[in-house]
A = this chain, B = another copy of it.
Amino acid sequence: MKFEAVTIKDIARALGLSTSTVSRALRGSYEISADTKQLVLEYAEKMNYQPNPIAKSLKENRSWAIGVIVPEIANNFFSQTINGIDATAYKRGYHVVITQSHESVEREVANVHNLVARRVDGLLVSLSMQTSDIAHFKSLQERGLPIVFFDRISEDISTFKVKANNYKGAYLATRHLIETGCRRIAHLTTASCLSITRERLEGYKAALSDCHIDYHEDYVKYFNDQSDVEQVATDLISMPEKPDAIFSASDRLTTACIAAIQKAGLQVPDDIALVGFTNLHVAEFLNPALTAVTQPAYEMGQIATELLIKLIESKKPIDTFETRILDTTLVIRASSGKKSLPQLL
């Protein structure tokens, strides 16, 4: 079960040269004669020589690997970002080692250690729902490990960050619901410590405020990984002053809402309208066709990777960091169609 590969030594021996000459010839060094170069290159080609990246890594003390930590691979949004990460990394000669936190801090910390032990050249991170303290990233960053955060970022650390315009997405969604006549808009959202949660909540509040609608805490529900979303959604739509719209922050929340609404026998959008953050291709074919806030997931992966590689390859320490904010889009579909209510705006 051995897979024998041609080495520089093999070439040197076969051609009666030294390994250093072969090495130099292969990388086109100016100090090697044209004849020797050609000889080496042709032989290497013929023997299908492939430099051993492991030896190269050991020598250079870097792995040409990028470590990625995401909450979940089997999630539409993250698999799309990974797609972008992958494409960009390969183009630049890096490979990608993907790990999942499964929304647990412990696993996030374990992954960080594992990736560092594997000597990744840098880290691309989207935080878990449980992560409030990011000491495990800070200490590494201080020791010089390049880290870029994307999507679920932290304010507590200064580095490159890439995120979607969650504020705008939430604002557009909420404003749109208001404009179609909704007044009691509930917001089901992710764990309260996440950046995306805060940003979306602010967009939601701003839209309400701009339209002179009071903000009600009772209409905002936070969910962690364990929550029984459908139960909460059911309770919500059974309230005396039940909401006439739900703005939901993830696919898991949205589907639970749909289930609860269906079971309650309510009509969308007439009894209750629905808008969700989603990157699902099938949003259009859901029942009801889902009005969606979409994020440029692929691009986010691309940009985060480019920034990380910039950090990794920079000669001098970088100390001015930007946070890139990518545009979000509202796609209006049947789940939030016009109502026959008087318009305020």
**Chain A interface (Cβ < 8 Å from any Cβ of B):** 1-5, 50-55, 57-58, 61, 63, 72-76, 79-80, 82-83, 86, 90, 95-100, 114, 116-119, 140, 143-146, 251, 255, 258-259, 280-282, 284-289, 298, 311-312, 314, 317
Contact = CB atoms under 8 A, between A and B. Distances in A.
A158 to B, nearest CB: 15
A286 B286 CA distance: 4
B312 A1 contact: yes
Contacts of A311: 1
Q: Is the interface of A mostly helix, strand, loop or mixed?
A: mixed
Given A95-B118, A281-B255, A54 B63 contact: yes
Given A54-B58, A251-B281, 16 more contacts: A1-B146, A1-B312, A1-B314, A3-B145, A51-B117, A53-B117, A72-B83, A73-B79, A74-B76, A74-B80, A75-B79, A86-B98, A95-B118, A96-B98, A98-B98, A255-B282
A56 to B, nearest CB: 9
A267 to B, nearest CB: 14
A82 B73 contact: yes
A165 B311 CA distance: 47
Given A282-B282, A285-B286, A144 B74 contact: no
A97 B15 CA distance: 35
Contacts of A285: 255, 258-259, 286-287
Nearest to A143: B3
A284 B286 CA distance: 9
A233 to B, nearest CB: 13
Contact of A53 (B55, B98, B100, B119): B119
Contact of A144 (B3, B96, B118): B3
Nearest to A121: B3
Nearest to A113: B50
